[in-house]
Amino acid sequence: MELLEKRILKDGLILPGNVLKVDSFLNHQIDIELIDALGAEWKRLYADERITKIATIEASGIGIACLVARHFNVPVIFAKKSKSNNIGSDFYTTPVVSYTHGNTYDVIVSKKYLSPEDRVLIIDDFLANGSALRALINIIEMAGATVVGAGIAIEKAYQPGGRQIRDLGYRVESLARVKSMINGKIEFC
């Protein structure tokens, strides 16, 4: 999506460790008009899919998912980072390897908010190695619900997550696909 690619080139910063910093418009300060345009695009792409719920992961996905959900008129559910490993049986839980922090943590979703009738669209800011997306897929499928697909703002296509998850048969619609970030230069697929 040209609008997003232009914005990444204008305001994105490349940090050590292969991290693209876009916190002036995507995941710290949020440009509402831009995210609204992303939402309209995902709505166009998933128009016929009878989405009943949007799912994302705490924390940076939440703001984006809420704006996107306005286009689908459905609730947002976000996987919470678990504070305890003794959370009882009312939750689905699965581990996530954090790309930006390098640690592993568990996320949880209450069993109350996902059911086998749900057709779920996953929304997230980034796709890198795919751990966050796989965790959400796991949780949705534990509930017997259907993963319709994913809407990713920025996929770092030179990392394996997107390919691996598409190879498993899931639909992934990334609106900017970064081919490389070398010598301070960002190139798109």
Residues that bind ligand 5GP (CB under 6 A): 19-21, 27, 60, 99-100, 124-133, 161
Is 165 strand, coil or helix?
helix
Residue 151 vs 161, nearer CB to ligand 5GP: 161
CB of 155 to ligand 5GP, least distance (A): 9
CB of 178 to ligand 5GP, least distance (A): 8
Smallest CA-to-CA distance from 181 within 46, 19, 43, 70 is with 19
Give the H/E segment covering residue 14.
Answer: strand 13-15
CB of 144 to ligand 5GP, least distance (A): 24
Residue 39 vs 130, nearer CB to ligand 5GP: 130
Residue 58 vs 117, nearer CB to ligand 5GP: 58
DSSP annotation string for 29-88: S--HHHHHHHHHHHHHHTTTS---EEEEETTHHHHHHHHHHHHHT--EEEEEEPS-S---
CB of 161 to ligand 5GP, least distance (A): 4
